[in-house]
Amino acid sequence: MRQSKTDHNSPVRRKKSWSALIWLPLFLFPTACQTQQISSGPTVSATTARQTTIDAGHFLAARQASFLNDVTASAGFFLAALEQDERNPELLQQSFVTQYRDGNIDLAAALASQLEGTNIKAPYAVEPAIAQSIKAADWDAVIVLSDQLAEDVTATPFAGVIKSWAFTAAGRGDAGLAHLAETSLLLSQDNNAMPPYLQLQVALMAEYLGHQQEAVVTATQLAESSALPAKIALQTAGILIRGNQHTTAHSLLESLPYSFERSQISAARLLPPDDIAAFIANAIIDTALAYRDPQFVIMVPARLQLALYLDPQNDAARFFLAQSWFELGQFDRARTALLAIDDASLWALPRMLLHNDIDIRTDNLEAAIERFDAYVMRRPNNAYLYKELGDLYRRHEHYEQARDNYLQAKDGGFDTATLYRNLAIAHERLDEDVQAEAGFKAALQRNPNDPFTLNYLGYWWAESGRHLDQAIQLIEQAVRLRPNSGFFVDSLGWVHYQLGNYQLAVEFLEKATMLEPEDALIISHLGDAYWQTERYAEAQFKWRYAAQLADDEDLQAELQTKLASGLAATGQ
């Protein structure tokens, strides 16, 4: 039985730079024409022809780097191409976007200024200039530029919070609060549904202006929100503490995810920003994170780096920047951003956990275990950390160490369905069946609708030929909860196979292979079901294809036996 039955994590898809693909024909066609003219002209030197090739090479390299989300390389190649064709507006646009994404704010602002002389408008073009004006405390310029930015409806929230703080910095605090309310109205048809990040800005701005009661009222309303993002919850708790609402603040802090060391959070560590530029940087972070639409994800790092340009010591910006690079597959850049967060920061534990995720994605589990083990040993009273360390060991198939760390977490008072499920998996892998069943049942008592526990327990029972009627009920519930999971549908098909319902098994397993078309075990299961329904040629075809995909030696050997002799040789 495969660990991916319960631990399957779909890889984050790399976002493609469609803008580069759109502009490609515009550059390839004229370049091809130029090359043809040069090669046919008797008076053109070899140097000129070589220069044209270099231009195309830079663009193609930039396009490939954009495709791979290698922002630094893409920015460098576009800039090199622009140096050889300074009047090309498309190159100018791409150079601006990539320099901005790469965090080169001043250079991006200079390129955006050059763009003003063309007829092509680049999205986000005024954002670097806004940041420069904030640093210069030129609030009139910030207000004007924010209005320009707001002409793009997708940038309305971003422009709105910046303009509101610019009003406040210019001594027009009431106008700032009013503009936050106006921005909220533009975003929602429900006049009472102000987004949490805007509510937070209202509370912070009211507190900054000395309206403490208004700040506390707004923060109290925020504290009642469900699923409040951790960063907003921390800031809200800070406002409540400063307003002497300690009980509400404590309750809010207790609701933080375990990835924050709650014992390390104090009033002194929840102070508001030091100046207006830092307030705006803080607002930029929350606004950038509020919109996770795929078409905007690639620009999240740009805006987080804009926040760091305004407030270079902002650890939240560093953490979320690292998280954004991680999501885009830029693991080295993510690590670099994390290194700037020190152990004393509120974001130290989230930093460590994200670093673990990077190591998992880059097949560097041993390094993650060594580093995290040392971190946990320095904090022996944090039971959650033992659970996380157990997860690392389990991923590395060190099940004894995983089990022992899970038990340490349990003894330390950590009590969640996920802990009991993962502990049960470790027991099952160690053939400790009694403890495994107890762990799975404890997990389902705490969360009866956890599809991963339902699927794992049901599949385990089905694979071992036990409790088949209960197994099918568990897996059917898992499929109802996650109907698009090929792994869960495979489990349902396989339990029907174990029950001898071969035709029904074929139907489910065919659906599973559609959902997971390159999973060797699922394809092998379908081959088995085909064989049992006397579709021998199709069974051989599926086994052969599964053998091409399989990287597990035991599965590979089993498939070769099936290909040679059918199911009779395997005892099925």
Checking if the pLDDT of 296 tops 50, the result is: yes
Q: What is the dihedral of CA 503, 505, 507, 512, to 10 degrees?
A: -160
DSSP E strand boundaries for 335-428: none
Q: What is the dihedral of CA 428, 434, 435, 440, to 10 degrees?
A: 70
Domains of the chain: 11-125 (no CATH), 475-572 (1.25.40.10)
Distance CA 17, CA 70 (A): 10
243-289 per-position pLDDT tens digit: 999 999 999 999 999 999 888 899 999 999 999 999 999 999 999 99
The DSSP symbol for 570 reads G
Checking if the pLDDT of 24 tops 70, the result is: no
Cβ count within 10 A of residue 5: 21
Q: What is the 3-state secondary structure (H, E, C) of 248-278?
A: HHHHHHHCCCCCCCHHHCCHHHHCCCCCHHH
> Which band of pLDDT confidence, cut at 50, 70 and 90, is reported for residue 185?
confident
In this structure, the chain runs to a length of 572
Q: Look-up: residue for tokens 């389990």?
A: 394
> Which band of pLDDT confidence, cut at 50, 70 and 90, is reported for residue 543?
very high
Contact call for residues 448 and 417 (beta carbons, < 8 A): no
Longest dimension (CA), the chain: 87
90-106 per-position pLDDT tens digit: 888 888 988 999 999 99
DSSP E strand boundaries for 462-506: none
Q: Which residue has the higher pLDDT, 465 or 240?
A: 240
